[in-house]
Amino acid sequence: MMRLDGDPKCVSESGAGKQLDESILLGPGQSLQNVFVYVKDILTGHAFPVPIEPVVLDQDKCRYTPRVLGVRVGQPLAIRNSDPLLHNVRADGRINQSFNMSTPLEGMSFNRTFATREVMVGFKCDVHGWMRAYVGVLEHPYFGTTGADGRVVLNNLPPGTYTIEAWHEQLGVKTQQVTVGARESKDVAFAFARR
């Protein structure tokens, strides 16, 4: 648990003086949530139109929602403040340009796009140190984040052999190779352990 009493407005927004540490969330059967799973390979010879609708990263109840997400290179990432208090958004890209923007008003939002692939771009709020998020930026659509059931589906992957990578903010990275044929589906499982 994390104490929120350093900011009385966060206490009132969250409805409690403490908030769950979301860095490791387990679901039924010890399934792991917030794992970013993606095809690590560069997919040459395929065209993947970039969606124009933004992916939303929200500052809500003094936390980032969702905590882990993906966006395409060139696709807008809409960053919104749903709290009636000051937040800021610091994106610490190692490859993409970093930025630090204030979001002082409820309902305030701004868009950013990323110019190149990067797994992962870390986000934080300097005002509320426990607020963290991670954004995977890819040039193709074959990625997703595990939900409470620990699953993610990568639909319509072209036939071929791929390296599938699973990234977790504390438990590290796991990879596996998989070969899929036309109209074929395969299950891939990753097991993480505390370091």
List the pLDDT tens digit at each of the 195 positions of the chain: 444 445 666 765 555 555 567 766 566 777 778 999 999 988 888 889 999 999 999 999 989 999 999 999 999 999 999 999 999 999 999 999 999 999 888 999 999 999 999 999 999 998 888 899 999 999 999 999 998 888 899 988 889 999 999 999 988 899 999 999 888 888 888 888 876
Instruction: Quote the pLDDT of residue 25.
Output: 57
pTM: 0.88
Give the whole-angstrom CA distance, residue 155 versus residue 176.
17
What kind and span of H or E run contains 8?
helix 8-14
Give the whole-angstrom CA distance, residue 191 versus residue 27.
14
Instruction: Quote the pLDDT of residue 1.
Output: 42
Instruction: Quote the pLDDT of residue 12.
Output: 59
What kind and span of H or E run contains 12?
helix 8-14
The alpha helices in 31-87, defined as continuous H runs, are none
Q: Give the contacts of 83 (CB within 8 A, at least 6 positions apart).
A: 9, 10, 13, 59, 60, 61, 62, 106
Give the whole-angstrom CA distance, residue 90 versus residue 23.
18
**Among all chains, which residue has been given the structure tokens 């610091």?**
90
